[in-house]
Amino acid sequence: MYGLKKRIVLSDVEPSREIRGFLVSCAVQMMKRRPIIGGNWKMNTDVESGMLLAGAVADHVGTCDCCEVVIYPPFLYLQAVDSVIDQTSLCLGAQNIWHEANGAFTGEVSGAMLNDIGVSSVLIGHSERRHVVGESDTLIAKKMKTSILDGFQTVLCIGETLEEREAGKTLEVVLGQLQTGLADVAPAQMQMVVIAYEPVWAIGTGKTASPEDAQSVHKEIRKCICGLYDESIANTLRIQYGGSVKPENAAKLFACQDIDGALVGGAALSADSFNAIVTAACESYKAQEV
């Protein structure tokens, strides 16, 4: 299913930095990646509405294999939601994890506990955890390491604030968060990682980055991964966009070369809108010719 149409091999002759940058940017343009759509419910729903929402999404996802779909309900409802989606291809995710296995950590939830109840994916470094709760890059790196060792698909969320964007620091911030978040992640572990680029100013505000702006940051993220790891890892890594994704803007975002799905907040709370975003991702995947 996956494969480069044309693989560019960096030759024995060490190319200059500029040429290497050019080759890398060419090499990371031609991969067909299965999109991943996440529904981040944040601190919303109750047990009954959560189960209904999950059931409606599971019915829509059915046995579709052109798109991976994960929902991230509040911790308290994970088990109830799991009972609804257990036999379906919809995956269960957690919005957070603690980096220690057990012990005196009041209010926290470990990877073993999440494993116990059927969670397969974990969000780490969401902007609300960075900016509202105050999680540091160091803590996020520890959580990345633990989550991967505990066997979870691990979604590292990164993104700049409006002030950082206006100060021209978007790439400095985003690539800095990427590098610190992945500091302890070995190349072989990168298959368990998904990156979610979520500009903070676009989250929950109704303002979406234009497809061009989002694509250009995604492309830089992929190039950075190529430098940190290698071309093959960069080419297979999925990079979701997040920030006011809706049925109305999803298709244009998914048509971009380096956007491999979405992490959806507000629109994930309605089965109709979330399912429409899933459909847009499937259609974009099927339309790719690579």
Q: What Cα–Cα distance (Å) separates residue 53 from each residue in 32, 76, 269?
A: 30, 15, 7
DSSP annotation of 229 reads S
Binder of ligand PGA out of 266, 275, 278, 279 (CB under 6 A): 266
Q: Is 167 helix (H, G, I), strand (E, B) or coil?
A: coil
Q: Give phi and psi for 31, each to the nearest 5.
A: -100, 140
Binder of ligand PGA out of 65, 204, 270, 290 (CB under 6 A): 204
Output the CA angle 137-143-147, nearest 5 degrees: 145
Q: Determine the interface stretch with ligand PGA among 27-35, 88-96, 221-229, 259-267 (rule: CB under 6 A).
A: 259-267
Contact 130, 149 (CB under 8 A): no
- Marked catalytic residue, from 68, 126, 128, 164: 126
Largest separation between any pair of C-alpha atoms in the chain: 62
* 126 classed as catalytic: yes
State which residue has the least CB distance to ligand PGA.
Answer: 265
Binder of ligand PGA out of 27, 31, 36, 40 (CB under 6 A): 40
Q: List, in order, residues 6 or more apart from 147 with CB less than 8 Å away.
A: 97, 111, 122, 124, 154
Q: Give phi and psi for 37, each to the nearest 5.
A: -115, 125
Binder of ligand PGA out of 245, 250, 259, 277 (CB under 6 A): 245
Q: Is 150 helix (H, G, I), strand (E, B) or coil?
A: coil
Q: Which is nearer to ligand PGA, 75 or 229 (CB)?
A: 75
Q: Determine the interface stretch with ligand PGA among 84-92, 134-142, 222-230, 236-244 (rule: CB under 6 A).
A: 236-244
Binder of ligand PGA out of 265, 273, 279, 280 (CB under 6 A): 265
Binder of ligand PGA out of 69, 243, 259, 260 (CB under 6 A): 243
When asked if residue 53 is in the footprint of ligand PGA (CB under 6 A), the reply is no
When asked if residue 70 is in the footprint of ligand PGA (CB under 6 A), the reply is no
Q: Determine the interface stretch with ligand PGA among 129-137, 158-166, 225-233, 265-273 (rule: CB under 6 A).
A: 265-273
When asked if residue 264 is in the footprint of ligand PGA (CB under 6 A), the reply is yes
Quickly count: other Cβ atoms within 10 Å of residue 244's Cβ.
21
Contact 54, 80 (CB under 8 A): no
* 218 classed as catalytic: no
Q: Give phi and psi for 22, each to the nearest 5.
A: -65, -45
Residues marked active site are found at: 126, 198
User: Which residues would be at the binding site for ligand PGA (CB under 6 A)?
Assistant: 40, 198, 203-204, 242-245, 263-267
